[in-house]
Every structure is written in C-alpha cells, then in structure tokens.
Structure 1
Amino acid sequence: MKFSTHTPEETIRLGVKIGENLQAGDLVLLFGDLGSGKTTLTQGIARGLGVAENEYVRSPSFTLINEYRGRIPIFHIDLYRIESASQLENLGLEEILFGEGISIVEWAEKLFPDNQKDSLIENHQPRIEISLEFSKAESREIEISLKNQGTSDHPIFTLQ
C-alpha cells in the first residue's frame, strides 16, 4: 500500500489510521533516512492506539526505548545509535519485539545485519514494514507492506 503525505499533520493522520488497526503483538519496522518522518508517523500511531494527546511521543534516540500506555502497550525503539549486533543483544529486545505489546522500531534496518545469523528478526517473522521517503519539501512517500502475515485478513488492509 502506498500513500503520499504533504505535511507533518497528514503524516500524523496516516499514523492514527495505522494505529487504530494494529493488534497486540504487532511488530512495526520503520525504514527511512534521517528526517524522513519516522517519529512523526510514530506520534500518529501512538494516538491511534489511544495514547493521550497531552503525552509527548518523542524519538528515544538516547534512551533507546520509550514505553507508552494506550489500549495496548507500545514500545517505541530507536536503533539509530546502535552500531553492532552485540549491542542489540545486550538490550534484551527479544521479549519486547515478540511480546504482547506493539513494538515500533525506527532504523529497523539495524535488526538485519549483513551476517543474517546475528539478526534478531528471522526472515519468516511476521511484521509490518513501513518505508518513508522524501519526495519534495515536506512531502513523503510512505509504503506499507505486510511480511509473512499468511493471509490478508490483518486489519491494516482496511487502509487501502
């Protein structure tokens, strides 16, 4: 599924729709360059999951993981500062990524190192991948794909 947004507010609105359709245990992987809108989209996803409007959803670049309370617990993970698979192992992400909450991972490409045996995510692991790209000024091209979900009955398909 492909979407275009032209303002941060539109990106947040798309995030709200995504959040409204997520289920317990969903793993959302965000891919995109610095400033492409990953955190802005996450702010909308959190709102769609019921995080209070007055709770500030920010990138956990230095804390690595922020937890928010919505209708389902949300774990917002930022891997920007992670440089190796061993650093990932030390974070203990397995219980978060594969738990009953919703995990949203910025810089998700770091979960897939060149040496696949060091990857925390198996290629067959069900997940929602969202790629964000600049198109012009504040416009973004956002592509959502479901990986290894088996069938097309996930509620995220209602976004089309």
Structure 2
Amino acid sequence: MKTVQSSSPDETIKIAKEFAKTVKPGDVICLDGNLGAGKTQFVKGFVQGLGLSSDIVSSPTFTIINEYEGELPVYHFDCYRLEHVQEALEIGAEEYLYGDGVCVIEWPDRITDLLPPSAKHVTFSITGKKKREISFQ
C-alpha cells in the first residue's frame, strides 16, 4: 500500500494524473471516502492523465454512470444513491465492469458483490480543511 498527502484540490488532481499512467484497459478503480474527501477532484485529474479534459467530469449522482470517451474509455460511477445491487445490474453495470474501458467508482461499497477481485482501491481521508491522505491498495 502506498499513501500520499495532498494539501489542495490541485495537488489531488496532480496525484491522480500520475496514477492514471498506471492503469490499463479493464481496470476497476474503487474510490472510498466520505463526502467532500476529494473523490471527484481525483477523477478530474485521472481523466486529464488519460488525455481528456477535466471539464467533462461531473459527479454522476443522478445518472449513476458518466462515460468519458477517449483513447481509453472511462466509466465514472457514483453509486451513492443505489439502494440495491439489482439497480446497478439493471443499468448494465457488469458490461462496464468487465469491459475494455476503465471504471472509476465512487461509493463502491454499494455494489461490492459485482466488483471483480482485481479491483484497485484508493481511499481518501480528510486530515484538515484542504488536506487529504490518499492511500492506494
């Protein structure tokens, strides 16, 4: 496990851009952390690291999945509003999770039963007003 410190949203974006260089098609990245911990900022940096504009990133709270098309498609899940795994199945989550793009999932604990064993976990802890501890597993 690797842990890094971030002291600003811009630094979180920079960390995510570097992390994006390590992913490959089919990877599933689970983002764990409380509301306001920096998960969506991380996704902004992540897509930048894959050559996309961070302007396309918004929290998909109401749509559940946002698709960002680039050389490597990114599927950004926000499972916060899901109450049952069945809801994720109904929107075709498995096709994304076992496809050729990269899935980035906020609130992955809502769909634990669907996640592949190879899923990578990034955990965000709030350590100050703008400070975060980001752990990669």
TM-score between the two structures when normalised by the length of structure 2: 0.94
Structure 1 runs (4+) deviating above 4 angstroms are none
Cα distance in 1 between the residues matched to 2:31 and 2:10: 18
Structure scoring higher RCO (CA < 8 A, sep ≥ 6) equals 2
Alignment correspondent of 1:155: none
Q: Which runs of 5+ in 1 are unaligned?
A: 113-118, 146-160
Deviation at 1:90, TM superposition (A): 1.2
Q: How does 1:1-160 map to 2 (within 5 A)?
A: 1-52=2-53, 55-112=55-112, 119-122=113-116, 125-145=117-137
Aligned length: 136
Question: What is the RMSD computed on CA atoms of the aligned residues?
Answer: 1.1
Q: Residue deviations 1:27-72, cap 9 Å, x none? A: 100100011100000100000011135x331110001111112220
Amino acid at match of 2:24: Q
Q: Which runs of 5+ in 2 are unaligned?
A: none
**Identical positions, percent:** 33
**Paired residues of 2:75 and 2:104 also in contact (CA < 8 A):** yes
SS of 1:126's partner is coil
TM-score between the two structures when normalised by the length of structure 1: 0.81
Cα distance in 2 between the residues matched to 1:71 and 1:140: 30
Specify the structure having the higher radius of gyration (Cα): 1
